[in-house]
């Protein structure tokens, strides 16, 4: 009978044998190139790259360099995640060969380098092209792990298309094989302290308003709490107040493909202490939550005796760190509209569920203080 300990030993031996089979498959000294760049010319050619073709099991995607930066043609030219594209380009150019691994196709799966035609393949391929679809470099990326002795790098298994030789290389490389992974997912990214008021107007006319008096305030207050009721959870009020300072997309589509006669389930309006107003109409169907956004400048003046809310006091001195001048906010609103106006954003379900709450969902019966004994 096999004991748990003997079973564990057997598993460890099996793994070690598998690793050894890959490691000793070829004599490392028989293949030149160890310690050299995987793509010696790619760094000098990096500015010539105009297109990246990516593929994984069951999916292909293309990224192209436009006049305004990298875009995703498969999503009507929506901006790509520029930081991730940069890491891919620089990372590929900096990959260094460590040692050769197997040439045997039967062992590719142990390195995550199985053929992309297989539905179970975990590999991702990248091809870097210059103008005229001229290929500058192409590789297939498999499993990776932290590099020994270097926390800033990874040990990655790769192979080149058409070459049976696989390699262990050292470097840093994003491995995202889905088109949506390469979108710039950040829709709004504003300083949280700027948010002064968020108003949610529902289709039936009910309104939820949360606000705070100063950028330094930690918590938002809920307006019009009826007698006998109190806020059920302060975090839920704060989440509404910060809902449009940090907004990510799930997917995106052109706005001209959206039915203009559709009525929103509710409209969210955020106003900041320095005069930025962002309005989001939210729509819900059986499958998706959709958002249409626009921005504007609405000067805000704190009532007498209140905390200074604008970027400047009456004497022109700066009051609140993180707030912008009116000129800066006007420019910010114009920049936001230029980026937001052509798109319908598919939003996370949790964002809809939270913003869809009405006053009754945010309140509970007021907690009564117990009467002192003998009182």
3-state secondary structure of 256: helix
Distance CA 222, CA 201 (A): 14
170-185 pLDDT, tens digit per residue, is 999 999 999 999 999 9
**98: confidence class by pLDDT, cuts 50, 70, 90:** very high
Residue 231's DSSP bridge partners are 363
Distance CA 173, CA 156 (A): 9
The arithmetic mean of pLDDT across residues 15-36, rounded, is 49
3-state secondary structure of 338: helix
H or E stretch covering 6: helix 4-23
Distance CA 344, CA 73 (A): 16
| Alpha-carbon distance values, 128 to 62, 83, 138, 208, 301 (Å) | 10, 17, 6, 50, 53
| The predicted structure's pLDDT at residue 195 | 97
**300: confidence class by pLDDT, cuts 50, 70, 90:** confident
Counting DSSP H helices and E strands in the chain, the numbers are 6, 21
The secondary structure of residue 104, as a DSSP letter, is -
Distance CA 133, CA 118 (A): 26
| The predicted structure's pLDDT at residue 202 | 96
Query: 15 versus 70: which is more confidently predicted?
Result: 70
Distance CA 225, CA 359 (A): 8
Average pLDDT taken over every residue of the chain: 87
185-203 pLDDT, tens digit per residue, is 999 999 999 999 999 999 9
Distance CA 194, CA 329 (A): 12
**Are 139 and 158 spatial neighbours (Cβ–Cβ below 8 Å)?**
yes
| The predicted structure's pLDDT at residue 34 | 72
| The predicted structure's pLDDT at residue 31 | 52
The secondary structure of residue 80, as a DSSP letter, is B
Distance CA 66, CA 56 (A): 24
Distance CA 126, CA 139 (A): 6
| The predicted structure's pLDDT at residue 26 | 42
Percent of the chain with pLDDT over 70: 83
The arithmetic mean of pLDDT across residues 326-348, rounded, is 96
Q: Which of 168-172, 188-192, 293-297, 316-320 has the weakest average pLDDT? A: 316-320
205-230 pLDDT, tens digit per residue, is 999 999 999 999 999 999 999 999 99
Distance CA 206, CA 360 (A): 10
229-284 pLDDT, tens digit per residue, is 999 999 999 999 999 999 999 999 999 988 767 789 999 999 999 999 999 999 98
Q: Which of 108-117, 192-201, 299-308, 349-358 has the weakest average pLDDT? A: 299-308
Q: Is the pLDDT of residue 22 over 50?
A: no
| The predicted structure's pLDDT at residue 133 | 86
Query: 149 versus 297: which is more confidently predicted?
Result: 297
| Alpha-carbon distance values, 284 to 203, 281, 347 (Å) | 12, 10, 10
Q: Is the pLDDT of residue 42 over 60?
A: yes
Q: Which of 49-53, 307-311, 363-367 has the weakest average pLDDT? A: 307-311
| The predicted structure's pLDDT at residue 320 | 61
3-state secondary structure of 332: helix
| The predicted structure's pLDDT at residue 10 | 36
């Amino acid at each position: 009978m096999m004991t748990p300990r003997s079973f564990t030993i057997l598993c460890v031996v099996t793994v070690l044998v598998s690793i050894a089979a890959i490691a000793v498959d070829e004599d490392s000294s028989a293949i030149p190139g160890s310690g050299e760049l995987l793509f010696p010319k790619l760094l000098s050619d990096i500015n010539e790259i105009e297109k990246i073709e990516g593929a994984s099991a069951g999916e292909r995607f293309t990224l192209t360099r436009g006049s305004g930066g990298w875009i995703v043609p498969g999503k009507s030219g929506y901006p790509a995640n520029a930081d991730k594209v940069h890491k891919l380009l620089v990372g590929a150019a900096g990959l260094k060969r460590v040692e050769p691994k197997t040439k045997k196709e039967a062992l590719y799966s142990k390195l995550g380098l199985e053929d992309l035609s297989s539905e179970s393949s975990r590999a991702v391929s990248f091809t870097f092209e210059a103008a005229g679809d001229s290929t500058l470099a192409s590789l297939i990326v498999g499993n990776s792990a932290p590099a020994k002795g270097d926390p800033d790098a990874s040990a990655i298994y790769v192979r080149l298309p058409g070459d049976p030789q696989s390699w262990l290389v050292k470097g840093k490389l994003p491995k995202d094989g889905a088109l949506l992974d390469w979108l710039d997912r950040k829709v709004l990214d504003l300083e949280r302290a700027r948010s002064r008021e968020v108003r949610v107007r529902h289709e039936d006319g009910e309104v939820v308003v949360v606000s705070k008096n100063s950028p330094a305030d930690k918590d938002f207050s809920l307006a019009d709490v009826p007698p006998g009721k109190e806020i059920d959870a302060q975090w839920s009020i704060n989440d509404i107040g910060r809902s449009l300072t940090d907004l990510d997309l799930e997917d995106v589509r052109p706005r001209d493909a959206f039915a203009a006669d559709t009525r929103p389930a509710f409209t969210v309006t955020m106003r900041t202490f320095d005069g930025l107003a962002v309005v989001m109409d939210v729509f819900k169907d059986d499958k998706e939550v959709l958002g249409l956004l626009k921005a504007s400048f609405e000067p805000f003046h704190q009532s007498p005796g209140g905390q200074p809310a604008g970027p400047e006091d009456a004497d022109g001195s700066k009051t609140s760190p993180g707030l912008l001048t009116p000129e800066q906010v006007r420019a910010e609103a114009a920049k936001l509209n230029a980026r937001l106006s052509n798109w319908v954003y598919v939003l996370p379900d949790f964002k809809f569920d939270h913003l869809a709450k009405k006053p009754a969902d945010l309140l509970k019966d007021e907690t009564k203080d117990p009467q002192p004994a003998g009182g």
